[in-house]
Amino acid sequence: MPRPSVDPRLLRAFLAVAEELHFTRAAARLYVAQQALSRDVRRLEWELGTELLLRSTRRVELTADGERLLPYARRVLAAHDELSAAFAASDRPLLVDIGTPVSTAHRVLTAAREETPGIEMTARFHSGLTGAAADILAGRLDVSFGRVAGLDPAVLAALEHRPVRYERMAVLLPADHRLAGLAAVPLDALAGEALYAAAGNPATAEWTDLAERLFAGRGIEVADPFPEIDGPDEFIRLVTKHRWPVLASTEFIELPDGGFVLRPLTDPVPLSPVSIVWRRGLRHDGLTALRRAAARLSAARDWLTRPADAWLPEPDARLTAALSSG
């Protein structure tokens, strides 16, 4: 009697564990509960009638049958993803995360809409790429923008991305702050300060990581974790109430009461890399339009040229070099 066909979800669970050799990391990679992941792997073993993994309290290893299944699982899942992408309805709206109405992503989306008015590209507003990436992998979102070097490598491997812009970083200061009168704020002048950088918000982990790398060795602190802030209105309320200095970029929402000033950072000039990010294998006319608009704006506005005194975190510089050499 022929065996039933294997659910691709079960193969995806097996592949994640086989590549990570760790159930907790594999569950995080797939954004599922560890218990659910273990259940899927055991179901696959039951359906195939063989043990695929050797589990102990200290390690996970592939059995001989697990090693034998691994290349088949990779080929099947690659074909499954290509098939899904090939027959995805291109007439459905493309769901695009732009973070805030004031952002590089918003500029790209606006240009793409103007160039291709017949394609529906619907904006979503996530607070960070880490959270948006989870929704992309879960199929709840199609495209986002942000700092890809701050993503978990396993998550990044399931995504495609292209650089769009190096945003110059800035600091948002209360108007009566000791540095508010400067046209640009040298980084060393912030020594002793604690800046809000979204610590405590798991959706913006890539931004907090960027801040920690920038502040390291300079005597600047990331402000204590604060619960996730939902939306620009609540952000404005909290910043205004607590008078937080905020690590920002020059593309930033404006606080309406005039009690804050935005100043670019200098000596060196820190940059926040922004890439367009989408699910590997996605095919949609809207994605084509977004990529075309991003490339045109990048070239026309010199978005990917770095100043001579620019600063980039080591992972971002390494990723940039790898993309350039590829």
pLDDT, tens digit, for every residue of 256-266? 666 899 999 99
**Higher pLDDT residue, 233 or 42?**
42
CATH 1.10.10.10 residue ranges of the chain are 8-86
Look up the pTM and report it: 0.75
Instruction: Report whether pLDDT(90) > 60.
Output: no
Nearest-angstrom CA–CA distance, 109 and 162:
15
Is-contact 222 199, C-beta < 8 A? yes
pLDDT at 26 over 90: no
Question: What is the C-alpha to C-alpha distance for residues 158 and 265, in angstroms, rounded to an integer?
Answer: 34
Band of pLDDT at residue 139, cut at 50, 70 and 90: confident
What per-residue confidence (pLDDT) applies to 91?
67
Question: What burial letters (b/e) apply to 233-262, b meaning 16+ CB within 10 Å?
Answer: eebbeebeeeebbbbbbebebebeeeebbb
List beta partners, residue 121. Answer: 94
Architecture of domain 168-270: 3-Layer(aba) Sandwich (3.40)
192 pLDDT above the threshold of 60: yes
Can you read off the two tokens belonging to residue 114? 């103007």
Distance of CA 185 to the CA centre of its chain: 28
Q: Is 56 left (phi over 0), alpha (psi -120 to 50) or beta?
A: beta
Better-scored residue on pLDDT, 241 or 81: 241
Positive or negative torsion for Cα 313, 316, 319, 320: negative
pLDDT band at 85 (very low <50, low <70, confident <90, very high): low
pLDDT for res 3: 57
Q: What's the burial of 167, exposed, middle or buried (CB within 10 Å: 0-12/13-18/19+)? A: buried
193 compared with 85, residue with greater pLDDT: 193
For the chain, where do the domains classified as CATH 3.40.190.10 start and end? 94-166+272-325, 168-270
Give the CATH number of domain 94-166+272-325.
Answer: 3.40.190.10
Percent of the chain with pLDDT over 90: 63
Asked whether 215 and 221 are in contact (CB, 8 A), the reply is yes
pLDDT for 268 beyond 70: yes
Pick from 141-145, 146-150, 203-207, 278-282: least confident: 278-282
Answer yes or no: is pLDDT of 1 > 70: no
| pLDDT over 60 (residue 88) | no
As assigned by CATH, the class of the 8-86 domain is mainly alpha
Alpha carbon dihedral 157, 133, 151, 80, in 10-degree steps, equals: -10
Is residue 87 very low, low, confident or very high in pLDDT (cuts 50, 70, 90)? Answer: low
Q: Kindly report which listed range (58-62, 90-94, 137-141, 155-159) carries the lowest average pLDDT score.
A: 90-94
Tell me what the pLDDT averaged over the chain comes to.
90
pLDDT at 122 over 60: yes
